[in-house]
Amino acid sequence: MYCLDIDTFADSNGDGVGDIQGLIGRLDYLARLGVTCLWLHPIHPSPNDDDGYDVTDFYNVDPRFGTLGDFAELLHQAGNRGIRVIIDLVVNHTSDQHPWFQSARSSPDSPYRDWYVWSDREPADRHQGMVFPGEQHETWTYDRTAKAWYYHRFYRFQPDLDTTNPEVRDEIKKIMSFWLQLGVAGFRMDAVPFIIERTEPGDPNPDLDFEFLTELRQHVQWRRGDAILLAEANVEPDQLPAFFGDSGGSANRVHMLFDFMLNGRLMLALARQDPEPVIEALRDTPALPEGGQWATFLRNHDEIDLSRLTAEQRNQVYEHFGPEEDMRIYDRGIRRRLAPMLNNDRRRIELAYSLQFSLRGTPVLRYGEEIGMGEDLSLPGREAIRTPMQWSYEGNAGFSRAEPEKLVRPVIDKGDFGYDKVNVTLQRRDRNSLLAWFERMIRTLREAPEIGFGSTTHIDVPMPPGVLAHRADGPTGTMVFLHNLGAVDAEVDLSLLQPEAELPIDVLADRNYADIGKLDKLNVAGYGYRWIRLRRAWSS
């Protein structure tokens, strides 16, 4: 799965903002990379105070991106290339500019008044539960026009919808139906734990209404049987199963969840050059119901959220990956891309992505990571990692023909990550580029259904420091993976696997290893990795 924001991907009409036609023009690039599902960040009209996560019309596309007609064309063109498209569904809140909120605040008699969450008095939990500490100071704000306090989990311009209201529930279903009818393959559901909160003034820990997720799942399934719900639910691991739901062993709420727990532990493991946190993450992963799946990621469009690590662990990650105050955000995270965090060390970038892609679940890759883009810390907040895609060494990185000052965000044009050094065209011409490597790895992954469909387990035998061995067992056979998170070359003894092995071979590795077939003496270079097919099942 590949995610991008239309506004920073490709600008076809030269107005400085990426658009749908620009994206259509790049679908072949995505197809060649091996993408089979595209997740688009919010596409709707928006004042863009939170990069589109503040919607003013759920039934349209942002006019800067094009029209609904363009969007239908995108779905058609993507489908032709075997790419499904899912869109962000941001229904925890609307923009305060949304006509529903404007009507709601204008009068207690407005038909939309009860679509939002109000309190006549100042709630005692006014200063609790902020998602953006430092940038957000309260979760209840007094609205003078409404003469009441409204609730907002996120920024004050994002009033929460009251999802206990049956009319709101129906409207959300209508929104989903609309986009499914147009041909989207599902939704990345934003902020799901907050959508299902039964908020009451003064209660900072409201109940969660999981039945609403069951309802949405049923609705989506009736409308399009193969559509998916991929939820953002950044909660403790023991709370995750309830989001999948369980009906006779099968998931009956969302199909997929982002694996935030794994994300934090991966960052810790990479910082310490020690696989232990990943081993813990594998051990602590709750069992999946039938039809449930994880979505794994190293970087997404937000900060790296380290809030589930201990203070000591968080400090270790900060020390390696966010040593300067300016690289950190919200008292819990890092606003950088992966390549710069790993000092642009090609070995470590490959290692990190090889590890992510070989673990259970569906890997999600963010635009620009496949060429090793960097961040621009001079931009505010999370914008640092939301700069335009670097296509070539033409002006504006080939992203747009507009005057540079008209660009939606400046392109990175300085230093090691400037577009003269990091761009698609350059890497296209180089068979050893990071882009070429990603293409090869993704192809290999697609030939290895053990990873996505099978079970992933840590191989618990004595290992040299820094080395992780894990295996994936699925209907098509068994694969074994070695990842050396440390800098020192290592030799690994996996002879215990000998009885299962049938001519083990590397299907992907950081280099050619001569020790093929000898499981008792497997070499793996410092920061090296090997994907070994141990056994292929010819029938299952």
* Alpha-carbon gap, residue 495 to 499, rounded angstroms: 8
The least CB distance from residue 380 to ligand GLC, in Å, is 13
The least CB distance from residue 19 to ligand GLC, in Å, is 21
Question: What's the chain's Rg over C-alpha atoms?
Answer: 24
Compute how many other C-beta atoms are within 10 angstroms of the C-beta atom of residue 167. Answer: 12
Max Cα distance, the chain (Å): 77
Three-state SS at 151: strand
* Alpha-carbon gap, residue 265 to 284, rounded angstroms: 11
DSSP label at residue 186: E
Q: Which helix or strand (DSSP H or E) is residue 180 part of?
A: helix 166-182
Nearer CB in complex with ligand GLC: 19/190 = 190
**Secondary structure, 3-state, 485-500:** CCCCCEEECCHHHHHH
CB-based closest residue to ligand GLC? 53
Determine the distance from the C-alpha atom of residue 295 to the mean position of all C-alpha atoms in its chain, rounded to a whole number.
7
Amino acid at 34: G
* Alpha-carbon gap, residue 453 to 478, rounded angstroms: 11
- 186-189 and 84-89 strand pairing: parallel
The least CB distance from residue 191 to ligand GLC, in Å, is 5
Q: Which of 11, 62, 160, 190 is catalytic?
A: 190
Nearer CB in complex with ligand GLC: 168/342 = 168
274 tagged catalytic: no
The least CB distance from residue 51 to ligand GLC, in Å, is 7
Nearer CB in complex with ligand GLC: 42/372 = 42
* Alpha-carbon gap, residue 116 to 46, rounded angstroms: 18
Q: Which of 232, 369, 473, 510 is catalytic?
A: 232
Handedness of CA 229, 27, 357, 352 (dihedral sign): negative
Which residues of this chain interact with ligand GLC, rule CB under 6 A?
50, 53, 90, 154, 190-191, 232, 301-302
* Whether 401 contacts 420, CB under 8 Å: no
The least CB distance from residue 240 to ligand GLC, in Å, is 16
The least CB distance from residue 339 to ligand GLC, in Å, is 21
* Alpha-carbon gap, residue 432 to 463, rounded angstroms: 30
Q: Which helix or strand (DSSP H or E) is residue 238 part of?
A: none
70 tagged catalytic: no
* Alpha-carbon gap, residue 532 to 504, rounded angstroms: 6
The least CB distance from residue 155 to ligand GLC, in Å, is 8
Q: Which helix or strand (DSSP H or E) is residue 79 part of?
A: helix 68-80
Residues classed as catalytic: 190, 232
